[in-house]
A = this chain, B = another copy of it.
Amino acid sequence: MKRVTLDDVARLAGVSPATVSRVINDHINIRGEVRERVRRVIEETGYQPNVAARSLASNRSSIIGLIIPSGVQFVFTDYYLPVLIQGISQACNSHDYTLSLFLFQTLEEERRSIQRIAASGLIDGFIVTADVKDTELVSHLLAARKPFIQIGRPQDADLINFVDVENITGAYTGVAHLIQTGHQRIATIATKNNTAGVDRLAGYRKALVEHGIAIDNALIAYGDWTEESGYAAMQKLLNRKPDAVFASTDTMALGALRAIKDADLEVPHDIAIVGFDDAPIAVKANPPLTTIKQPTRQVGRVAVETLIDILQSESDTPRHIILPSELIIRASSYNGDD
Q: Report B-chain residues with C-beta under 8 Å of the C-beta of A75.
A: 82, 86
State the copy count for this chain: 2
Q: Report B-chain residues with C-beta under 8 Å of the C-beta of A49.
A: 120
**Number of contacting residues on A, CB 8 A?**
52
0 or 1 for each of A79-122: is its CB under 8 Å from B? (1 = yes) = 10111011001100100001111111100010001011101111
User: Is the Cβ of A51 less than 8 Å from the Cβ of B121?
Assistant: yes
User: Is the Cβ of B51 less than 8 Å from the Cβ of A122?
Assistant: yes
Q: In the complex, what residue of chain B is closest to A232 when comparing beta carbons?
A: B336
Smallest CB–CB gap between A284 and chain B, Å?
Answer: 7
User: Is the Cβ of A83 less than 8 Å from the Cβ of B76?
Assistant: yes
User: Is the Cβ of B48 less than 8 Å from the Cβ of A336?
Assistant: no
User: Is the Cβ of A336 less than 8 Å from the Cβ of B228?
Assistant: yes
Q: Report B-chain residues with C-beta under 8 Å of the C-beta of A184.
A: none
**CA–CA, A61 and B121, complex, Å:** 12
- Tell yes or no: A156 within 8 A of B by CB: no
Smallest CB–CB gap between A24 and chain B, Å?
Answer: 12
0 or 1 for each of A7-34: is its CB under 8 Å from B? (1 = yes) = 0000000000000000000000000000
Q: Which interface residue of A52, A77, A113, A122 has the most chain B CB atoms within 10 A?
A: A52
User: Is the Cβ of A85 less than 8 Å from the Cβ of B113?
Assistant: no
Q: In the complex, what residue of chain B is closest to A46 when comparing beta carbons?
A: B119
Q: Report B-chain residues with C-beta under 8 Å of the C-beta of A56.
A: 50, 52-53, 56
Residues on A facing B (Cβ under 8 Å): 3, 46, 48-53, 55-56, 61, 63, 66, 75-77, 79, 81-83, 85-86, 89-90, 93, 98-105, 109, 113, 115-117, 119-122, 227-228, 231, 258, 280, 284, 286, 336-338
